[in-house]
Structure 1
Amino acid sequence: MTEAELYTLYKGVFLPSSLHPPQSLKYYEDFTFRPDDILIVTYPKSGTTWMQEIVPLIISGGDPASVETLPNWDRVPWLEEHRACVLNLEQRPSPRMFTTHFRNNMMPPSFFEVKPKVIYIMRNPKDVLTSSFHYFGTTSFLVKPGPQSDFLHKFLNGEVMFGSWFDHVKGWLNAEDKERIMYISYEEMIMDLKDSVARIAEFLERSLDVAVVEKIADRCLFKKMKQNNMSNYSLVPTEYMDQTKSKFLRKGVAGDWKNQLTGAEAEHFDAVYKDKMKDVTYKFVWD
């Protein structure tokens, strides 16, 4: 099926229509934040599920109850998706934890008024492309990726769900109130998960013993998350996501793009990246 059949064009970006009906987008636009809310922000396939595991464990002081009993889409729900409308988020005790894939300029008015804390996760876009290519092929609500060369072209032009990776990252890097935003990369988390957990806890003003930090980091290892049915999307019916084609939690590594892209495709990607990111001063781990 085509973009016109499966997607809604919302504020210039494609959204899967089945997950983002008009009433859920209206709910998002009218949502009222609290100052102590925690918002996980990512471009898709950049470490969202990982952070949806880490943050609740930090907030609970290492108690695994929520990550063992609640699917991640209820535990730390996407505010723009239809599910948010039925979870009574207004009744949840503080600090509430949410997720969004939206750009900074797509945030609702309350976000800019209240200024909740944001954890923004970035990932090497070539790995984002690789992960997206496999993921798109498993779902019924996304346009099939087609040949890799075609998908590469769409990805670089922002003609995929949630639009351009470049616009998403640059928009959040240029956001105001940076003292309320923690920037962290997927690659940093892979290199030193314990340090990453400790830094996230500090940002969230949670004082955790070293032993608790180690316990959380150990529980959030990829191989353990892959076994957690509340996090590995095994609860999603096959008609929506067929994980026999590719697991949602596939490899959890950095640099898999080297096994996916041809030399010419990687060179083309690098050229586009260099041009689109030429004015960005932030130092990414993968540069």
Structure 2
Amino acid sequence: MYSSKYIQYHGLLLSTAAHSQESLEYAQNFPVQDTDVFAVTYPKSGTVWMQEILPLVLNGGDLTPIHTIRNHDRVPWLEFKRLAEIVDKLTSPRALVTHLPYNLMPLSFHASKAKVIYVMRNPKDILVSSYYFHQMAAFLDNPGTFDEFVDKFLEGRVPFGKWTEHVKSWKHAELADRILFITYEEMVQDLPTSIRRISDFLCCNLSEDVIQKIAEHCSFQSMKANTMSNFSLVPKEYMDSDKSPFLRKGIAGDWKNHLGLEQLVRFVSVINEELKGENFSLPWSLD
């Protein structure tokens, strides 16, 4: 039995604060344009980062949107209630984000030429980030102890279900050159190179000066200081930054400070079992 904070959608738990049957139906019938760009992530994999990067790449480095428009309005979620309210304000090429698996994308998406940037992150770091997010987000269930949350995460009793299912759905997507896979870790290690990859994929042909400018303004420190990006304007009754800041660390490998040996063995065993026989390899070792 799930709490009243969630609705179920094709077997996935979604927060009622951000989703409704109407918003999900709106997403299913959303008229995708050929010029649309979707940043697709499993939750806590770099979504907010892409909401910062994409507008700057698409508009040639103009900083206006990241300083004047809240991130969830400049690059809205496809499945959130808010999209219907602001969709008419979006200008082409439109940038959107989504946590939806491939099979739940709008029908018009499959018939379009819209592009996808799929951001992958080490699931052990997703686990840790999600644990802290559940602590500070009043619209999500209390995560319980960290050990209890490990089980919840592995069993898919968290928003948008199992990480393995999400990754598999997009790795098997038949999108040819319409999809770019990039990792959170490579963005942490070398953001300018990652932005160049995104720019080239979207045929934006940005100069090195613009690439460096975008990287500077999309650093973790810059986003954490930007009220249009750090969610500090969200009322405390929804997100309590005293319990944990929304933008917490922005690093790779924080799982090493949280997962004990027994938890690590359990985690790796389940993930490896669920990915057994897949014809793709992960960009990081889970051990």
Same fold (TM over 0.5): yes
From 227, 230, 233, give the equivalent of 2:228.
230
CA separation in 2, counterparts of 1:63 and 1:146? 43
Partner of 1:105: 103
CA separation in 1, counterparts of 2:227 and 2:195? 22
8 Å Cα contact 1:188/1:285 also seen in 2: no
8 Å Cα contact 2:224/2:247 also seen in 1: yes
Please say if 1:7 is aligned against 2:19. no
CA separation in 2, counterparts of 1:74 and 1:31? 17
CA separation in 2, counterparts of 1:285 and 1:235? 35
8 Å Cα contact 1:45/1:131 also seen in 2: yes
From 204, 207, 213, give the equivalent of 2:205.
207
Shift of 1:90: 4.4
Shift of 1:273: 1.5
CA separation in 2, counterparts of 1:145 and 1:92? 35
Please say if 1:59 is aligned against 2:58. yes
CA separation in 1, counterparts of 2:130 and 2:259? 13
Q: Structure 1, unaligned stretches of length 5 or more?
A: none
Q: Matched residues, percent identical?
A: 47
Partner of 2:120: 122
Partner of 1:40: 39
CA separation in 2, counterparts of 1:154 and 1:28? 27
Pairs within 5 Å for 1:1-287:
3-87=2-86, 89-90=87-88, 92-287=90-285
- Cα deviation digits, residues 44-77 of structure 1 (max 9, x gap): 0000001111111111111100000011100000
Query: TM-score normalized by structure 2?
Result: 0.97
Q: Which amino acid aligns with 1:30?
A: N
Shift of 1:91: 5.5
- Cα deviation digits, residues 148-193 of structure 1 (max 9, x gap): 1111111001111011100000110000113100000000101111
8 Å Cα contact 2:74/2:90 also seen in 1: no
CA separation in 1, counterparts of 2:22 and 2:131? 29
CA separation in 1, counterparts of 2:49 and 2:278? 26
CA separation in 1, counterparts of 2:250 and 2:280? 24
Shift of 1:270: 0.9
Q: Secondary structure at the match of 1:3?
A: coil
Shift of 1:23: 1.5
8 Å Cα contact 1:20/1:80 also seen in 2: yes
CA separation in 1, counterparts of 2:233 and 2:279? 41
Which segment is superposed worse, 268-277 or 201-210? 268-277
Query: TM-score normalized by structure 1?
Result: 0.97
Shift of 1:116: 0.8
Q: Which amino acid aligns with 1:225?
A: M
Moved runs in structure 1, 4+ residues, more than 3 A? none
CA separation in 1, counterparts of 2:156 and 2:119? 19
Give the number of equivalent residue pairs.
Answer: 285
8 Å Cα contact 2:3/2:141 also seen in 1: no
